[in-house]
Amino acid sequence: MNKKAVFNTLSFLVIIIGLCMLLSVAWAAYFGDGDLQALLYSIGICLLVGGPSYFLTRGKYNLTSRDGFAIVALGWTTIALFASLPFYLSGAMTSFTDAFFEAMSGLTTTGATILGDATRHPHLPQGIESMPRGILFWRAFIQWIGGMGIIMFSVAILPFMGMGGTSLLRAEVPGPTVDRIQPRIRQTAKTLWLTYLIFSLCEALLLRLGGLSWFSSLTHTFTTMATGGFSIYNDSVYSQSAYIQYVLIFFMLMAGINFTLHGKLILGRENHYKGNRELYFFLGAIGLFTVVIFIDIAVNNYGWGEYSFRQALFITTSITTTTGFGTVDYETWTPFAQMLVFTLFFVGGSAGSTGGGIKVIRILVLFKYIIAEIRKMVHPNAIIPVRIGEHSIPESVIRNTIGFLLFYLGILLLVALLLTFFNLDMFSALSASASALGNIGPAFGSVGPYNNYAHLADPAKWLLSFTMLLGRLEIFTVMVMFSRTFWK
């Protein structure tokens, strides 16, 4: 591993995250909520730490896959450390643990928060709506950065530094494969960011037309396109109009779909939505769960009507895409409906989307593999490939998928066990573990949709922060850092 190249890139990321705070500075100056000084101090620290170390380690480097893994895993941790500075220095978070938890939750687009409605939770120092607007903007903006990935952003710039970005993209992009839109990696990164920007602009305009302020429109756009779920309101988006909620549903769906499909359409190429089995499976799962939940809550909660349908569709989309916005407390639903919601914790978005979770493509591969194995039991001498559409899935991909799923479930149970050690009840611990690993945000029990994570012990918050990182970077990218082979 080229340690000098890794350190140089990490320094560059610290500079970038500091410069990104300038947008929050503008809002802090505009509203005058008292957070301007903290943001300026944070920028100064980022530049003072990142600037000298970047220039001292400058050079032309050819990054290897090992360098890529190190940069991604260490990069996200480093970014979270510096992104937490505004929260801590402004006093919005009373401890650095809380500030780091909020920053990691934002950058990994998890949406788990230590903030909430202070009127409902007297132990909180303040509610979300009473926080300085510059800090709220930063809280939303880091989700937007994390959505497509600040590493992806760096891929578009690193060639100008004499550094290739292919290994970074392979380590960063969610999902089992990387589907290039264009032949050059820098062009691919630019196209994905252009797609991301176009969707973000469209959503912000539609939310503004629905009556939200520009500040609210932008912050909710950032957290929707990132499938993050941080809202600037205590009740998430419960009090918003049906129009606003439907706009959020549409863009959550768009963010949960593979961005290469969007990018290819924007480039004027063939429509790759048609015939895409992963997309059909993703939309079909959302449709099926929406219908079943709608019937259940119509009978047992809200009656037959548009409201029940909207709540079923919103919660199903929000949880499946791992966004985590809330329009209703689903813990008031029947145990059957709650179990359906919990099942959605293990679905996730498409590969190449901003969504977290296991990913739809892995579940589809697993289903196809199970069907193929059943057929082999009936016809033991037959050669039955695992196919998705017209493509045969290589054995190596199947092994990787099964290994990932076993690793995923093992970590989920281990984290849940450790959380019970900190006096969290079993169901809350299990759902918090699943929520953090799937980058979902809200869970059940004491960390449910209208609760928060503030009451957890500090070690539990650090544990969940690490779990969020594992989920965001697809587990292996981080766990490989703990291998002796990696460091040899």
Q: What is the DSSP string of 61-129?
A: ----HHHHHHHHHHHHHHHHHHHTHHHHHTTSSSSHHHHHHHHHHHHTT----S-B-TTT-TTSSSBGG
Q: What's the rounded Cα separation, in Å, for the pair 353 and 371? A: 27
For the cut 80, the answer to whether the pLDDT of residue 190 exceeds it is no
Centre a 10 Å sphere on the Cβ of residue 129 and count the other Cβ atoms it contains. Answer: 14
Q: Enter the tokens of residue 412.
A: 């989920």
Q: What is the mean pLDDT of residues 223-241?
A: 92
Least confident of 19-33, 175-189, 253-267, 327-341: 175-189
Q: What is the mean pLDDT of residues 196-221?
A: 95
Indicate the average pLDDT of the chain. 86
The pLDDT value recorded for residue 271 is: 78
Q: Residue 476: how many CA atoms within 13 Å on its side-chain side? A: 19
Confidence of residue 121 (pLDDT cuts 50, 70, 90): very low
For the cut 80, the answer to whether the pLDDT of residue 175 exceeds it is no
Contacts of 346 (CB under 8 A, 6+ apart): 357, 358, 434, 438
**Residue in the structure block whose two tokens are 């969940």:** 464
Q: What is the mean pLDDT of residues 49-55?
A: 92
Q: Enter the tokens of residue 81.
A: 């450390």
For the cut 70, the answer to whether the pLDDT of residue 163 exceeds it is no
The pLDDT value recorded for residue 123 is: 45
For the cut 70, the answer to whether the pLDDT of residue 158 exceeds it is no
- 391 phi/psi in degrees, rounded to 5: -105, 130
For the cut 90, the answer to whether the pLDDT of residue 486 exceeds it is no
Q: Based on the number of CB atoms within 10 Å of its own CB, is 449 exposed (0-12), middle (13-18) or buried (19 or more)?
A: buried
For the cut 50, the answer to whether the pLDDT of residue 161 exceeds it is no
The pLDDT value recorded for residue 479 is: 79
pLDDT tens digits for 265-317?
877 766 778 888 889 999 999 999 999 999 999 999 999 999 999 999 999 99
The pLDDT value recorded for residue 395 is: 84
Coil/strand/helix, residue 388? strand
Q: What is the mean pLDDT of residues 122-131?
A: 66
The pLDDT value recorded for residue 117 is: 56
Q: Which of 358, 336, 339 is nearest to 411 (CA)?
A: 358
Q: Enter the tokens of residue 312.
A: 């079923």
Q: What is the mean pLDDT of residues 239-258?
A: 94
The pLDDT value recorded for residue 276 is: 83
C-alpha triplet 287, 289, 294: angle, nearest 5°: 95
Q: Which residues are 388's β-sheet partners?
A: 391
Amino acid at 460: A
Q: Which of 241, 249, 252 is nearest to 209 (CA)?
A: 241
Q: Which of 221-235, 369-383, 385-399 has the highest mean pLDDT?
A: 221-235
For the cut 80, the answer to whether the pLDDT of residue 173 exceeds it is no
Centre a 10 Å sphere on the Cβ of residue 417 and count the other Cβ atoms it contains. Answer: 13
Q: Are 143 and 137 in contact (CB under 8 A)?
A: no
Confidence of residue 157 (pLDDT cuts 50, 70, 90): very low
Q: What is the mean pLDDT of residues 172-189?
A: 60
Q: How far is residue 17 CA from its own chain's centroid?
A: 18
Q: Are 200 and 225 in contact (CB under 8 A)?
A: yes
pLDDT tens digits for 369-382?
888 888 888 888 87
Q: Are 232 and 219 in contact (CB under 8 A)?
A: yes
Q: What is the mean pLDDT of residues 196-200?
A: 93
Q: Are 312 and 290 in contact (CB under 8 A)?
A: yes
The pLDDT value recorded for residue 9 is: 87
Q: Which residues are 127's β-sheet partners?
A: 116
Q: Are 141 and 218 in contact (CB under 8 A)?
A: no
Number of H helices, E strands in the chain: 21, 2
Q: What's the rounded Cα separation, in Å, for the pair 475 and 471? A: 6
Burial profile 461-473: b = 16 or more Cβ within 10 angstroms, e = fewer? bebbbebbbbbbb
Which is it for the CA torsion 157, 160, 165, 168, positive or negative? negative
The pLDDT value recorded for residue 109 is: 92
Q: What is the mean pLDDT of residues 420-436?
A: 94
Least confident of 60-69, 339-348, 357-366, 429-438: 60-69
The pLDDT value recorded for residue 78 is: 94
**Residue in the structure block whose two tokens are 């291998």:** 483
Contacts of 264 (CB under 8 A, 6+ apart): 181, 270, 272
**Residue in the structure block whose two tokens are 């947008």:** 23
For the cut 90, the answer to whether the pLDDT of residue 178 exceeds it is no
Q: Report which of residues 298 and 481 the model is more confident about.
A: 298
Contacts of 280 (CB under 8 A, 6+ apart): none
The pLDDT value recorded for residue 336 is: 96
Q: Which of 65, 260, 76, 75 is nearest to 165 (CA)?
A: 65
Coil/strand/helix, residue 450? coil
Whole-model pTM over 0.75? yes
Coil/strand/helix, residue 233? coil
The pLDDT value recorded for residue 174 is: 56
The pLDDT value recorded for residue 128 is: 87
C-alpha triplet 354, 101, 25: angle, nearest 5°: 80
- 374 phi/psi in degrees, rounded to 5: -65, -40
Three-state SS across 413-426? HHHHHHHHHCCCCH
Contacts of 303 (CB under 8 A, 6+ apart): none
Q: Based on the number of CB atoms within 10 Å of its own CB, is 397 exposed (0-12), middle (13-18) or buried (19 or more)?
A: middle
